[in-house]
């Protein structure tokens, strides 16, 4: 069963403000899809919004076309199916993760420990963007054709391997399985926390994700390179 992502309304304008922030994040994500023309990016943006609001299964091509200002059949001139739209959104999400990781590594001028912390900080922020869409995409990933699923899994494995190299650069004693397990746990932690809907306090989630991710990379807080400096 597929469900739309629902944000609880605790009163006031917080829900509307959150929805505007979500839409801005979606616009940023889709704008990065330079290989797509303007009309394609509009279709992707509106499809992403509808997948979040209604759920993937409950969204039809006609719905996407109406939201994008074209007829349903016109969508097929840009994407062969609804699943092709889903695949394009997953590609954009993975591209953004890869480009973000590379940008963090290229910008680093400190030592290996500082690089680990910088990657954790970046990953926390990246995980808290487009939360609803991320849950939709990950929920549909197992249902993709085998070829596409393998391709995306390989791309995510490349991202994990890059992070493992960063970890072992700071902590050679974690080489091999320990570093691999730490990275898998860290990457899975954010999605699990978001899916659980534990709190709407994004700053509280951010702080706790950061501290617990770092705890997987180092012994107790006194030995954290960042915590020790505070």
DSSP assignment of the chain: ----------STTHHHHHHHHHHHHHHHHHHT-TTS-HHHHHHHHHHHHHHHHH-STT--HHHHHHHHTS-HHHHTTT-SSHHHHHHHHHHHHHHHHHHHHHHHHHH--S-HHHHHHHHHHHHHHHHHSSHHHHHHHHHHGGGS-HHHHHHHHHHHHHHHHHHHHHHHHH-GGGTTHHHHHHHHHHHHHHHHHHHHT--S-HHHHHHHHHHHHHHHHSSSGGG-TTGGG-
Mean pLDDT by 10 residues, the chain (230 residues): 42 45 56 62 87 90 91 88 92 88 92 94 89 82 92 94 95 92 92 87 92 81 48
Give the pLDDT score at 138: 82
Give the pLDDT score at 8: 39
Give the pLDDT score at 32: 56
Give the pLDDT score at 40: 85
The structure's pTM equals: 0.75
Give the pLDDT score at 136: 82
Give the pLDDT score at 64: 93
């Amino acid at each position: 069963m597929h469900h739309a992502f629902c944000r609880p309304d605790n009163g006031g304008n917080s829900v509307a403000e959150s929805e505007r922030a979500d839409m801005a994040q979606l616009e940023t994500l889709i704008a990065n899809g330079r290989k797509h023309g303007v009309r394609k990016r509009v279709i992707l943006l509106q499809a992403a919004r509808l997948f979040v609001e209604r759920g993937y299964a409950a969204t039809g091509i006609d719905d996407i076309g109406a939201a994008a200002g074209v007829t349903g059949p016109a969508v097929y001139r840009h994407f062969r199916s609804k699943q092709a739209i889903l695949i394009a959104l997953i590609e954009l999400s993975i591209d953004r993760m890869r480009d973000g990781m590379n940008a963090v590594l290229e910008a680093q001028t400190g030592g290996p420990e500082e690089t680990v912390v910088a990657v954790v900080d970046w990953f926390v922020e990246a995980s808290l963007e487009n939360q609803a869409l991320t849950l939709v995409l990950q929920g549909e990933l197992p249902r993709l054709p085998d070829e596409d699923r393998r391709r995306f899994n390989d791309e995510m494995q490349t991202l994990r391997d890059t992070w493992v190299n960063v970890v072992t650069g700071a902590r050679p004693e974690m080489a091999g399985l320990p570093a691999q397990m730490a990275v898998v746990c860290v990457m899975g932690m954010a999605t699990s926390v978001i899916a659980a809907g534990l709190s709407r306090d994004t700053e509280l989630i951010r702080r706790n994700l950061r501290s617990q991710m770092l705890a997987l990379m180092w012994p107790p807080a006194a030995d954290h390179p960042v915590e020790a400096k505070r």
